[in-house]
Copies of this chain bind each other. A is one copy, B any other.
Amino acid sequence: MVEEFRIKYASVVHLKKPKLNEPILIEGLPGVGNVGKLAAEHLIDEIKAKKFAEIYSNDFPPQVLINEDGTIKLVKNELYYWKKKEKQLIILVGDYQALSSAGQYMIAEAVLDIAQKYGTKMIYTLGGYGTGLQIEKPKVTGAATHPEIVEELKKHGVDFKDEPGGGIIGASGLLLGLGMLRGMKGACLMGETSGYIVDPNSAREVIKILTELLGIKISFSKLEKKAEEVRRITERIKKMEKAAEKEEREDLRYIG
């Protein structure tokens, strides 16, 4: 007897079926400096958003993560919701982005299918913009589906590059691009970041502008604490690198 099994899928497990009306979709998945992920997770914590769906996919790494108590969890993406009268949000966070190009499209379509059922008309995607330099006061760079949103974002201090030819890779780009084909509007907010280290400092700038746009007030102190911690670690690494470099130079002198 021979049985056959199918390959490649994304499955959405609905934990709850919240009643939502035209919620704004916000995405913060891992990426450059983990800026989007840090920003979205901070928002979830501060507004106490509730999880309502989990997305599993065989295009995520074939992996479980180990929690601090020794228990495990399968790699996944998660959808949270929050509502306060007319203000309604769906927030997408997760452990990984899809590995392949086709997987990226598949997961983005799956998320948009859900958002569309709830009547979503606006999407904000959050990410980092790698500059290769460490920046004390990072700017937030934007891109949007429509010129009127570009204008709106500029009023909130979002920066727009003149150079053409740039791109937004992964979920932050695809959700907007595929959303447009469904008649949705949206924008991507990208915090400047070195790209070498997780960057809560940049995430704070992104979430500041996002909450302003949404008309929501939250505290940023937890992100600031994390930023302080990262700053300390970075300083320590720099000192170690300098020491190592000095040693190396001396070795070279010896060889030369």
Which A residues contact B (CB, under 8 angstroms)? 1-14, 56, 58-75, 98-106, 108-110, 113, 142-147, 150, 160-162, 164-171, 173-174, 176-178, 180-181, 188, 252, 255-256
Which residues of the partner chain B approach A64 to less than 8 Å between Cβ atoms?
143, 167-168, 173-174, 176-177
Contact B147 A69 (CB under 8 A): yes
Let me know if B63 and A174 touch, CB within 8 A. Answer: yes
CB within 8 Å for A65 and B166 given contacts A72-B144, A74-B180: yes
Do residues A106 and B63 form an inter-chain contact, with CB atoms below 8 A?
Answer: no
Query: Most chain-B Cβ atoms within 10 A of its Cβ — which of A67, A100, A252?
Result: A100
Q: Which residue of B lies closest to A180 (CB)?
A: B74
Q: A5-B9, A8-B8 are in contact. List 14 more A-B contacts (CB 8 A).
A: A5-B12, A7-B102, A7-B105, A61-B101, A63-B167, A63-B169, A63-B170, A64-B143, A70-B150, A71-B150, A72-B173, A72-B176, A74-B177, A75-B177
User: Can you offer 16 A-B residue contacts whose CB atoms are under 8 A?
Assistant: A4-B11, A5-B106, A7-B59, A13-B181, A56-B181, A58-B104, A62-B104, A62-B171, A63-B169, A63-B177, A66-B168, A70-B144, A70-B150, A74-B180, A99-B101, A252-B255
Distance between Cα atoms of A60 and B178 in the complex (Å): 13
Q: Are B110 and A5 in contact (CB under 8 A)?
A: yes
Q: Beyond A64-B176, A69-B150, is A9–B7 a contact (Cβ under 8 Å)? A: yes
Contact across chains for A178 and B74 when beta carbons are under 8 A apart = yes
CB-CB nearest in chain B for A186: B72
Q: Which of these, B2, B61, B113, contacts A13 with CB under 8 Å?
A: B2
